[in-house]
Amino acid sequence: MVIDKNSFKGPTLPDNPLTWVAVILLVVAMKLSHIALRGSLARLPGPWHTKFTSAVYTYHQVRGQAPIYVHSLHAKYVVLGTDLTGPGPIVRTAPHEADVSDPAAVQAIYRIKGEFLKSPWYDSLVLGTPNVFNATDPNLHRRRRRLLSQPLSESGLRGLIPIIDGKIQKAMDRMASEMQDKGAADMYKWWLFMATDIIGALSFGDCFRMLDKGEKNQYVKDLESTGDTFMVRAAFPCLTEWIRKVPVPFVPLASLQAANEVECRTMNYAHESLQWHRRLVEENPETTVPTLFSKFYHDKTITAREMEVDAQAYIIGGSDTLSKTLTYLVWAVCRHPSVKERLVREIQQRLPLASQQRSGFTDAQVRDLPYLAMVIEETLRLYPAVPSALPRVVPPEAPELCGHRLPAGATVTTSAYCLHRDPTAFPDPERFLPERWQNPTKRMKDAFMAFGGGSRVCLGMHLARLEIRLAAARFFHRFPDVEISNLEGMSDDDMEAQWYFVLTPKGKRCLVQQKRA
Ligand code: HEM
């Protein structure tokens, strides 16, 4: 057969633009229905849009409302046909992501062996070399955690109590002066200064001295904003990386740029703090006390950069979380007169008064205060400083979770906010009720996730608990008549919680005063 080249036209393309639009819409519709029907988590309960997109979830994340949104999904998507009286145990939040709020399943995800590894979501939190907090590689994480664990264990911390208690007592003095001078003291500020000075003193020698300075500087402002900037960076990882290379002055991108600047500055603080400590050791080799990082100095496999990123993790993890917990503790206790009365009575009856020479009591005595312990658990439950989703990757051959076999590679999240508000574990969950911890049930213990769990449980948990109990005891010992102040327009609105990666009170202040006669 002979083909006439001039008459052969080949397949013709439609020249009507409407036809093109129709074709594109058809392709998109086919793609979406494929995801909806065959997507890895399509069979899980959850809103229809989460089959296609994570946009709604991301929107709530950057507004500091994600845990509330996910909690509402658990309340809505209960399992029909069961006698379950509580929230639905599992919901789809994005095409490849599900949130689990069943205490038994949470224990399976976080068990010590740690098959559910941290998801790549953590990569966007720290640019470049991963730190002990965001590392997703289990071997890298294990190596660093091995060196860092002992000094932060209960026995490792014992020798450091005088340094910690010294800072706590200094914080009490500074609060007392501010109450006297201004009529009220800002708890949020002083707890942050105290926590910053403690983690600084334990990690690098006494380098920050925020309690002496007494004023918020750029460093403190950066610390205050890490919780929200984390969320912004994690919500838009590609954009964040791009803006880092090409700074853009447009307003919608400003918060991403600000997040990057905070990241760079906190890394600089870590660098400077380590330099400061190095000089200290060189100048006073005999007298410098070991720090939380001492084992790093002796391990030749740890690079200077690795040490810096872990120092950054300590600076951020060791201050912001702690100050927010103590702020909400004081606020919640002051708002519940019967709780305050019982707590103050216990402290006054069981702890001796301070004298000129002695600070009155020790951590060992504070440990034995049962009601204080309940108040702390209840604060960590209702105001978990890390309330948001902690994403993990489903491993191959993962156990069934809440009756579902999730595909390997999907992401599962759990959040302290949702677990701590599960009414089957904590009846009347929105109520601040320390007494519920008198005889905690197994379900309560399994649902309690304030410090995360398994091999990635908070490295600073023992330090945090020590600081919280000692600081709270000293505070109510020193200021038994304290109350929330309304000076400078301070109101409950200031304490409205914003649920970013780290919980943040909206007004970033909490003024308290001595009760007026
Ligand atoms: C009330 C205070 C604190 C709370 C509520 C808290 C909470 C948490 C939580 C929930 C995690 C797990 C995060 C995840 O799985 O992604 C974590 C990890 C971590 N925290 Fe804390 N934290 C507190 C205080 C501290 C302190 C004082 C330090 C000081 C060193 C610290 C250092 C760390 C580190 C290094 C990790 C990462 C551990 C790892 O992945 O191996 N935290 N924290």
The pair of structure tokens assigned to 264 is: 């760079």
Residue, of 19 and 190, whose pLDDT is higher: 190
| Residue 221 maps to a domain | yes
| Residue 22 maps to a domain | no
User: Distance between CA atoms of 270 and 481, rounded to whole angstroms?
Assistant: 39
Residue 381 has pLDDT above 90, yes or no: yes
Residue 512 has pLDDT above 80, yes or no: yes
468 alpha carbon – ligand 1 mean position (Å): 14
**126 Cβ below 6 A of ligand 1:** no
Residue 3 has pLDDT above 60, yes or no: no
Residue 40 has pLDDT above 80, yes or no: no
35 alpha carbon – ligand 1 mean position (Å): 36
pLDDT at 250: 47
Residue, of 280 and 325, whose pLDDT is higher: 325
Of 112, 110, 135, 114, whose CA–CA distance to 125 is shortest?
135
**450 Cβ below 6 A of ligand 1:** yes
Residue 118 in 3-state DSSP? Answer: strand
User: Distance between CA atoms of 119 and 117, rounded to whole angstroms?
Assistant: 6
| Residue 160 maps to a domain | yes
- Cβ within 8 Å of residue 346, ≥6 positions away: 369, 370, 371, 372
Mean pLDDT for 155-180 is 95
Dump the DSSP string for 307-342: HHHHHHHHHHHTTHHHHHHHHHHHHHHHH-HHHHHH
> Among 28-32, 273-277, 490-494, where is mean pLDDT lowest?
28-32
Residue, of 443 and 296, whose pLDDT is higher: 443
Sign of the dihedral through C-alpha 38, 44, 48, 51: negative
User: Distance between CA atoms of 106 and 404, rounded to whole angstroms?
Assistant: 14
Nearest CA to ligand 1 atom 1: 322
Nearest CA to ligand 1 atom 42: 460
What CATH number did the domain enclosing 412 receive?
1.10.630.10
| Residue 122 maps to a domain | no
- Cβ within 8 Å of residue 493, ≥6 positions away: 506, 507
**pLDDT per residue over 281-316, tens digit each?**
777 777 677 788 878 777 888 888 888 889 888 988
Residue 401 has pLDDT above 80, yes or no: yes
pLDDT at 62: 82
Rounded (5°) CA angle 346-350-351: 110
Nearest CA to ligand 1 atom 31: 460
Give alpha helix (H) positions in 284-303: 294-298
Q: Strand pairing partners for 412?
A: 98, 392
**194 Cβ below 6 A of ligand 1:** no
- Cβ within 8 Å of residue 479, ≥6 positions away: 175, 176, 179, 512, 514
Mean pLDDT for 510-516 is 92
**465 Cβ below 6 A of ligand 1:** no
The ligand 1 atom at the shortest distance from the C-alpha of residue 292 is 30
Nearest CA to ligand 1 atom 3: 321
ipTM value of the model? 0.99
pLDDT at 252: 46
Of 454, 414, 420, 426, whose CA–CA distance to 101 is shortest?
414
Nearest CA to ligand 1 atom 20: 458
pLDDT at 101: 93
The pair of structure tokens assigned to 214 is: 């007494």
- Cβ within 8 Å of residue 331, ≥6 positions away: 187, 484, 495, 510
Amino acid identity of 136?
A: T
The ligand 1 atom at the shortest distance from the C-alpha of residue 386 is 10
**145 Cβ below 6 A of ligand 1:** yes
**321 Cβ below 6 A of ligand 1:** yes
Mean pLDDT for 26-41 is 64
pLDDT at 251: 42
Nearest CA to ligand 1 atom 6: 451
365 alpha carbon – ligand 1 mean position (Å): 26
Model confidence band, residue 32 (pLDDT cutoffs 50, 70, 90): low
Residue, of 484 and 2, whose pLDDT is higher: 484
456 alpha carbon – ligand 1 mean position (Å): 9
| Residue 105 maps to a domain | no
Question: Taking a C-beta distance cutoff of 8 angstroms, is the pair 473, 375 a contact?
Answer: no
Query: Which pairs from 141-150 meet CB under 8 Å and 24+ separation?
Result: 141/455, 141/456, 142/455, 143/301, 144/302, 144/306, 144/310, 145/455, 145/459, 147/295, 147/296, 147/299, 147/302, 148/292, 148/293, 148/295, 148/296, 148/310, 148/459, 149/459, 150/295
The ligand 1 atom at the shortest distance from the C-alpha of residue 452 is 10
User: Distance between CA atoms of 189 and 319, rounded to whole angstroms?
Assistant: 11
pLDDT at 1: 46
110 alpha carbon – ligand 1 mean position (Å): 15
458 alpha carbon – ligand 1 mean position (Å): 4
Of 48, 103, 26, 105, whose CA–CA distance to 404 is shortest?
105
> Among 61-70, 79-88, 368-377, where is mean pLDDT lowest?
79-88
Mean pLDDT for 56-81 is 89
**385 Cβ below 6 A of ligand 1:** yes
Model confidence band, residue 203 (pLDDT cutoffs 50, 70, 90): confident
Domain count, the chain: 1
Best of 167, 326, 456, 458 for a ligand 1 pocket test (most atoms within 8 Å of beta carbon) = 458
Mean pLDDT for 260-284 is 77
Mean pLDDT for 215-227 is 75
User: Distance between CA atoms of 132 and 150, rounded to whole angstroms?
Assistant: 14
| Residue 407 maps to a domain | yes
Q: Which domain holds residue 488?
A: 138-514
460 alpha carbon – ligand 1 mean position (Å): 6
Rounded (5°) CA angle 315-318-324: 120
Question: Taking a C-beta distance cutoff of 8 angstroms, is the pair 232, 122 a contact?
Answer: no
pLDDT at 385: 97
**379 Cβ below 6 A of ligand 1:** no
> Among 51-60, 203-212, 460-469, where is mean pLDDT lowest?
203-212
> pTM of the entire structure?
0.88
104 alpha carbon – ligand 1 mean position (Å): 22
Q: Strand pairing partners for 94?
A: 97
Dump the DSSP string for 380-424: HHHS-SS-SB--EEPPTTPPPBTTB-PPTT-EEE-BHHHHTT-TT
Nearest CA to ligand 1 atom 21: 458
Nearest CA to ligand 1 atom 27: 318
Mean pLDDT for 117-126 is 88
| Residue 435 maps to a domain | yes
User: Distance between CA atoms of 109 and 106, rounded to whole angstroms?
Assistant: 5
